[in-house]
A and B are shown apart, each in its own frame.
Chain A
């Protein structure tokens, strides 16, 4: 019994080391993708947002000048829809890097609010809704249909930016 008492702390310490090693292996597994740097994923998502914004501009431009090509608009909207589908997957926890009052690198610095990560389910749902709205635009059969669905997407964009984009 005394021997058991003497060995128990050693056994517990051993268990602790084992637990740390097991956790370490989980972490190693999760970090198996070191080639994908945080700066890279931030740049990729900023470029994706910039591109989908360009495509949205093209659609809004054709609406405001009343020169709507449904075929061209469908193509733009389809690209927006696909980009928005992938967009929320480009926010790994390590890329939660916005800090107030810090000089932000225009390419690899982030303006994504920390709220993206604390309210990720809401952020994810907004991106999903936006992707569906863009998909609806890509299937609009009439100009008026396209106009009303574009207005829906613009509202969704603005609301999401208000909630999750920091302005410095």
Chain B
């Protein structure tokens, strides 16, 4: 009788373990369903996007510096920056937290300079990207040159502050 009860308990325990393993395996499989999107790819994509944002910002700052402001053109650059900043913080999956100090052989395309702080304080990082997107949107809607200049200055300050907090330089 005691033997039967012990066997039953063992069977139940084995069933629990089996179910737990299966449940975990299915959750992990679901989370890893996108193996085509490699970590190197997402790092490359976000670096290309930041470079494009920077190019668009350069165009805006150049027209301000030489005092030849074309609002139509400036609006287009502001709009592109705004949209890119909406997507940008979504390009930091946990697996891409790969910065290591004192690495002399960083690949310029696929290695990251993003600080681990981007993941440790992700909500702050996310909020900064959202704020930058809104400022860029304001640039894209500025009706007057002075408004355009002021919004561009605000965006530059936001860029610099975010880089100081989250961009590693070797």
Interface of chain A: mostly helix, strand, loop or mixed: helix
Interface segment, A28-36, A60-68, A141-149, A157-165?
A28-36
CA–CA, A47 and B66, complex, Å: 32
Tell me whether A99 is interfacial, beta carbon within 8 Å: no
B-side interface mostly: helix
Please, which residue of chain B has its CB at the minimum distance from the CB of A55?
B80
A51 neighbours in B (Cβ, 8 Å) = 79-80, 83
Cβ-based interface call for A45 (8 A): yes
Check if B94 sits within 8 Å of A6, measured CB to CB.
no
Give chain B nearest CB distance to A113 CB in angstroms: 15
Known: A13-B17, A26-B31. 11 other contacts (CB 8 A): A16-B13, A16-B16, A16-B20, A20-B20, A20-B23, A23-B28, A36-B122, A40-B86, A44-B87, A86-B45, A89-B41
Enumerate chain A interface residues (CB-CB to B < 8 A).
5-6, 8-13, 15-16, 19-20, 22-23, 26-27, 29-30, 32-36, 40-41, 43-45, 47-48, 51, 78-79, 82-83, 85-86, 88-93, 117, 120-121, 124-125
Complex A-B: 16 CB contacts under 8 Å: A9-B13, A23-B28, A26-B31, A30-B31, A32-B94, A33-B94, A35-B89, A35-B126, A44-B87, A44-B90, A47-B87, A86-B45, A89-B41, A120-B34, A121-B35, A121-B36
